Amino acid sequence: MPEGNNLSGNPFEGETERDARPFELLSRMSGVLKTLRDTNIKEIVGDVPEPSPRHIIALSHIVIFQPISVSDLAVHLHVSLATTSNLVSQLSNGGLVDRTEDPNDHRRTLVTLSKDKGTVAAQLIHQRMEPIIGGINKMGNDRFRMLCELLDELLEGIESNPRNPTVLDREVET
């Protein structure tokens, strides 16, 4: 039987160690992300309907980069402008963020933490990030920057792969 011919229907049967690398990476990353997954999301985002980790991630970026435009936030989150706008609306409806018109460009909306609930949410996020911050500090700046560069390269490779379903979706839209 020729190599690579798989009659069982299992697409992973006969995988080599090289082919198992994505699973090894995802396993390690899930350990890092467990900090967020174990977070009591409702404790942080309060009145946001159907809260999820994406709300915490968006809120984290707002905490760090505020004031931030909705379009810049979309770039940071690697999601569409429509998705980001929806997230910001949900966070705003929950009283966590405020939206204002950019005084320099009236077409842009700036997002900042609300004075009351937003500050409490930021403190809770910081508490949840403490273990990750400790791990990053232990790595040192050079190794951390290298890790970020490697992850950016990985993301670029994933996003540019023609077999990536999101790439196929974009081709259908155009």
105-113/68-69 β-pairing: antiparallel
End-to-end CA distance of the chain: 42
Given this model, what pLDDT does residue 156 score?
A: 86
52-102, pLDDT tens digit by residue? 778 888 988 998 899 999 999 999 998 999 999 999 999 998 888 999 999
- The total of structural domains in the chain comes to 1
Given this model, what pLDDT does residue 7 score?
A: 55
Give 60: exposed, middle or buried? Use CB within 10 Å, 0-12, 13-18, 19+.
Answer: buried
User: Quick check: is 38 in a domain?
Assistant: yes
CA distance linking residue 16 with residue 165, whole number of Å = 24
Tokens found for residue 52: 């999820």
Domain that holds residue 50: 33-129
User: Quick check: is 61 in a domain?
Assistant: yes
Q: What is the pLDDT along the chain (174 residues), one digit of tens a residue?
A: 445 555 556 655 666 666 777 777 777 777 777 665 666 666 666 666 666 778 888 988 998 899 999 999 999 998 999 999 999 999 998 888 999 999 999 999 999 999 888 888 788 778 777 888 888 899 999 999 999 899 889 888 888 888 877 654 444 444
User: Quick check: is 140 in a domain?
Assistant: no
The half-sphere exposure of 17 on its side-chain side, counting CA atoms within 13 A, is: 0
The DSSP secondary structure of 35-61, one letter per residue, reads HHHTS-HHHHHTT-SS--HHHHHHHHH
User: Quick check: is 57 in a domain?
Assistant: yes
Q: Give pTM, 2 decimals.
A: 0.64
Given this model, what pLDDT does residue 139 score?
A: 92
User: Quick check: is 164 in a domain?
Assistant: no
CA distances from 130 to 31, 35, 59, 136, 146 (A): 15, 9, 16, 10, 21
User: Quick check: is 116 in a domain?
Assistant: yes
CA distances from 27 to 24, 71, 123 (A): 5, 31, 28
CATH code of the domain in which 93 resides: 1.10.10.10
CA distances from 164 to 19, 64, 78, 114, 158 (A): 17, 30, 15, 38, 7
User: Quick check: is 14 in a domain?
Assistant: no
Helices and strands counted in the chain (H then E): 8, 3
User: Quick check: is 110 in a domain?
Assistant: yes
